[in-house]
Amino acid sequence: MGRNPEVTAMAFRQAKRKLRKIEQLGITSDMSEDDIDAKIMDLAEAKAIEASAPVSDFVAGQQWYVESLVAFAGMTPIERLNVEYEEAFPEVASEEELLAALADPVPVVVAPVAKIKRVRKKAAAK
């Protein structure tokens, strides 16, 4: 089955947005665990200040966000497009396209599972 051009365009735009955010945040695919943890905490603290809530409320979400951006930064352009295509596809595909995709699934590249306990301990210590 060929790609839906509308979904491909959506995937491209989303990939470009992520790449801009990766650049803005200074994220790289080879960041050390300590640098990743520091970025997570910086973003969680900023969210906490904005929401007048405890930092611990935002650590898990920011960890998922940062780790997914680190993984995205390490992907090839085609992997990036594929990931975003899979995400956007259900939003605009016809029922026929959805059924065809379910009958012939394509593996999806997934961001690594978050190490939430490790970072939550750091948040609790602050």
Number of domains in the chain: 1
115 falls in which pLDDT band (50, 70, 90)?
Answer: very low
- Alpha-helical runs (H) found in the chain: 5-25, 33-51, 56-73, 77-92, 95-103, 116-125
| Average pLDDT score, the chain | 85
Q: Which two tokens stand for residue 51?
A: 């929401």
Q: Which domain holds residue 54?
A: 5-125
pLDDT digits (tens, 9 = 90+) for 32-62: 999 999 999 999 999 999 999 999 999 999 9
**What integer is the mean pLDDT of 67-90?**
92
- Which of 110, 115, 28 lies closest to 74 in space, CA to CA? 28
| C-alpha–C-alpha distance, residues 5 and 16, integer Å | 17
Reduced to 3 states (helix: H, G, I; strand: E, B; else coil), residue 106 is coil
In this prediction the pTM is 0.76
